[in-house]
Structure 1
Amino acid sequence: MSGLCRECETFFPTPHIPEGGAAGHKSGQDAATPRARCPRCRSPRVIVHAELEQLSIGHVDCDAFYAAVEKRDRPDLRDRPVIIGGGHRGVVSTACYIARLSGVRSAMPMFTARKLCPDAVVLPPDMGKYRRVAGEIRQLMNALTPLVEPVSIDEAFLDLSGTAALHKMSPAQSLNHLTRQIETQIGVTVSVGLSHNKFLAKLASDLDKPRGFSLIGQAETASFLASRSVGMIWGVGKVMREQLAGDGITTMGQVQQMALEDLARRYGQMGSHIWHLARGLDRRRVEPDSATKSISAETTFDIDIADAEALSAELWPLCEKVAYRLKSAGLAGQVVHLKLKTAGFRLITRQTRLSAPSQLAETLYRAGQALLQKEATGDWYRLIGIGMDALQDAQDADPIDLGDPDALRRRKVEEAMDSVRAKLGQDAIIKGRSLKPTK
């Protein structure tokens, strides 16, 4: 049994601590018990675990990241509830932990969040700033290991196998040192999960937010998972969870008692997936070069829209955003997907496959417009989004189409517009359809 002080970073051997103490199923998550204090500084922020020196797969998740960055930059907001989101009709991107005490949650409609927490300071997201801060955090991660797999702007997996000799410290010590660097140098906090695979590391990082550090070891994996909901399994969404519940399956412990063949027969490939993860079996590697799978953009309206022309006007600037991101990344896509959300919050998605990969806003708009016209039949919508899947290198994008003699002209027009914008700014030149229709 070993211990690690999160404050002074002292690593020390410890006597056995009984179940329910610092080494119980909570896996040392900032355990504060009389029997778990740092022998050097006496801090109760001590991690104690039998496998502390063996586990090497980490998951680092920033705590209320957008709100934390804003509070860092505006000390006057430190003790106030802060919500990051868009407009009265938008949704919550992030809520600080003070706002969460009132029930505010990410993806909640903004009008609901304002009712729950009327005293909150509401700020629009500043994605450029958040990306810069995330980049600074990523640099600190890369200094620990080349095996860093970003999951989103504010979380990543790290594989620290074999780094002990390089850093002269165990993976647990390295991750704890990273949390202190992020907090002191960048000014935001993170929560860490450490385990023997990605699935469990992700679960562990959610156990004790904010500023948590939790471990799930090999020996305790089955017992730790047994009481947890099957809804915590990656890939099990609302529909699948309801289907499992209809068959009397609500916990991973129940899955652990079932045969693989039975689950596979009932649920197909997803049944096999559930069977393995309910036992903590996850063979996925940390992939540092994991490619971007899709690029998209969406907007939520201040007032619901039913008019087809008005919806088309909202679609075009989103196509330009997606095209700009594709071009900046040197990518092209071949599958266009349209996203709509009705006034009653019903989500509608439609997609179509292009004859060749493209990165042009005009091509994306035409395909998206064809999908939109089938749905814009009088229903009221509160959100529209457009995106590209099946991404690939842009070198073969937008080839000459003999069946569409005007395609080359459209491509040259867009390239000319891009050239002007590169010199004079994005608003230097626009197409007529960028002008919203007036009534």
Structure 2
Amino acid sequence: MTGSALCRDCAAAVRGDSPRCPKCDSRRLFRHPELHALPIGHIDCDSFYATVEKRDRPELASLPVIVGGDDHRGVVAACCYVARMSGVRSAMTIREALDRCPDATIIRPNIAKYKEVGHQARAIMEAFTPLVEPISIDEAYLDLTGVEERLSISPAQALAEIVHRFERDLRITASIGLSYNKLLAKIASDLDKPRGFSVLGRADGAAFLAPKRVTILWGVGPALERRLFTDGITRVGDLQDKDEHWLVKRYGAMGRVLFNFSRGEDNRRVQPESVSKSVSSEETFDWDVTTLSALSQELRPLAEKVARRLEREGLLGRSVVLKLKTRDFQQLTRSRRVEPTRSAETILAAGMALLEREADGRAFRLIGIGCTDLTHPDSAPDPELDLFGA
């Protein structure tokens, strides 16, 4: 790809240093030395819940909107950028949010609607590459390696066209991060919101990260940040100065991750959902969830989704796996053997038995459930034969 710039409105590659796109006359041109050579993208929808609500209620387009509880209870699940200008943030109590932005319109969340739009957005992404790894309902990684051979456009152009289709077909906006790995693509997508397009190339990574707080790195939550601070490590540059052996000795396996991430190195691949080894479904919360009742409410629709996928793939699961992630990104995985099944009730019952042991008041940001040790019905053992030891 010889184009030196990208038009963010029509996705054209623009040669030379013209201030306007020759195709659509837009001034929204983006330039970077590695622009058309980087394959990994991260797309993050802008204030997704609030944007969908404003789409469906045009009279609120220029007004502050908060998606969350009612006037007296609950927390902010999402808010538009107008509300953010008044200091409103996700996970803030509704009462505090209204103190800061008393003119805001409060809308109760409609998760089913948001999921439908999220699925439509994923379908648009998958039209450009099968390598789409959803992170939550409104964001995903994409590996666009080979898109130039298939579609005669660069990965950067593909990302711009995807977001253009979001705006045209779904009437939502999104921000783009482009890099050579997942870590930096995710970081880049947060740099220029809303409707942003940011690039972190191979020549940028380590130097860009050095002055940033360690919390910019994936996996560094409040608990790990406190441990790092105790050791005098507050910036990524402090990690860059540390020997890998020292970091591993001090922080275990996470020490090696910190050593690599601090230098802009990340060998994780973009992993689309696969049924070859497991079938699972998970949900990332917009606020921390601590109670068994709230967690169990999220578990049922996930179990039903897993059951539908097993049915569609003609598979049975012989182990149920529960996945939880704490607010400081500690991941817990628990499993239980079951008779070969694709029943949502069986999957849910096993998941609930595992969940009851873990829901002890800790704050969780993600819950998931799935089946592993998959088999086809004609190869599954007869439960009655197993019962009698035949």
Q: Under TM normalisation by the shorter chain, which class is it?
A: 0.7 to 0.9
2:223 aligned residue (239, 251, 255): 239
Deviation at 1:204, TM superposition (A): 0.5
- Count of equivalent residues: 369
Deviations 1:93-130 (A, max 9, x none): 21111111122222333333233322221112222222
1:37 aligned residue (6, 19, 24): 19
Sequence identity percentage:
42
Q: Matches of 1:10 and 1:189 in 2, distance apart?
A: 19
Deviations 1:124-145 (A, max 9, x none): 2222222222222222211211
Q: Matches of 1:371 and 1:180 in 2, distance apart?
A: 41
Inter-CA distance 82–191: structure 2 relative to 1 (3 Å threshold): same
1:114 and 2:126 correspond: no
2:8 corresponds to: 6
1:75 and 2:58 correspond: yes
Q: Matches of 2:123 and 2:368 in 1, distance apart?
A: 29
2:31 aligned residue (48, 70, 94): 48
Deviation at 1:64, TM superposition (A): 0.8
1:351 touches 1:371 (CA, 8 Å); kept in 2? Answer: no
Inter-CA distance 338–151: structure 2 relative to 1 (3 Å threshold): closer
Greater C-alpha radius of gyration: 1
Deviation at 1:388, TM superposition (A): 4.1
Inter-CA distance 268–180: structure 2 relative to 1 (3 Å threshold): same
- The worse-fitting range, judged by mean Cα deviation, of 156-165 and 359-368 is 359-368
SS at match of 1:106: coil
1:205 and 2:189 correspond: yes
1:61 aligned residue (44, 56, 75): 44
Inter-CA distance 90–290: structure 2 relative to 1 (3 Å threshold): farther
1:328 corresponds to: 308
After TM superposition, list the pairs within 5 Å mapping 1:26-425 onto structure 2.
37-38=19-20, 40=22, 43-87=26-70, 88-290=72-274, 295=282, 320-321=300-301, 323-330=303-310, 334-335=320-321, 354-356=336-338, 361=345, 368=352, 388=369, 393=374
Inter-CA distance 167–363: structure 2 relative to 1 (3 Å threshold): closer
Give the letter for the 1:72 counterpart.
R
Q: Which runs of 5+ in 2 are unaligned?
A: 311-315
1:71 touches 1:77 (CA, 8 Å); kept in 2? Answer: yes
Inter-CA distance 322–132: structure 2 relative to 1 (3 Å threshold): closer
SS at match of 1:53: helix
Q: Matches of 1:168 and 1:373 in 2, distance apart?
A: 53
2:217 touches 2:262 (CA, 8 Å); kept in 1? Answer: yes
Deviation at 1:63, TM superposition (A): 0.5
Deviations 1:250-284 (A, max 9, x none): 11112112211111111111010001011111111
Q: Matches of 1:50 and 1:338 in 2, distance apart?
A: 41
Inter-CA distance 105–395: structure 2 relative to 1 (3 Å threshold): farther
Deviation at 1:58, TM superposition (A): 0.6
2:282 touches 2:369 (CA, 8 Å); kept in 1? Answer: yes
Give the alignment's TM-score, normalised by structure 2.
0.78
Q: Matches of 1:66 and 1:142 in 2, distance apart?
A: 22
1:435 corresponds to: none
1:424 corresponds to: none
Deviations 1:296-346 (A, max 9, x none): 799x9xxx99xxxxx87x88766654543443343766356899x9xxx9x
Q: Matches of 2:350 and 2:214 in 1, distance apart?
A: 42
Inter-CA distance 161–320: structure 2 relative to 1 (3 Å threshold): closer
1:316 touches 1:365 (CA, 8 Å); kept in 2? Answer: no
Deviations 1:204-252 (A, max 9, x none): 0000010000001111111111111111111111100111011111111
Give the letter for the 1:334 counterpart.
V
Give the letter for the 2:65 counterpart.
V
Q: Which runs of 5+ in 1 are unaligned?
A: 16-35, 306-310, 405-439
Deviations 1:166-224 (A, max 9, x none): 22221111211222121122111110001111111111000001000000111111111
* Aligned Cα root-mean-square deviation (Å): 4.2
Q: Matches of 2:281 and 2:28 in 1, distance apart?
A: 41
Deviation at 1:154, TM superposition (A): 0.8
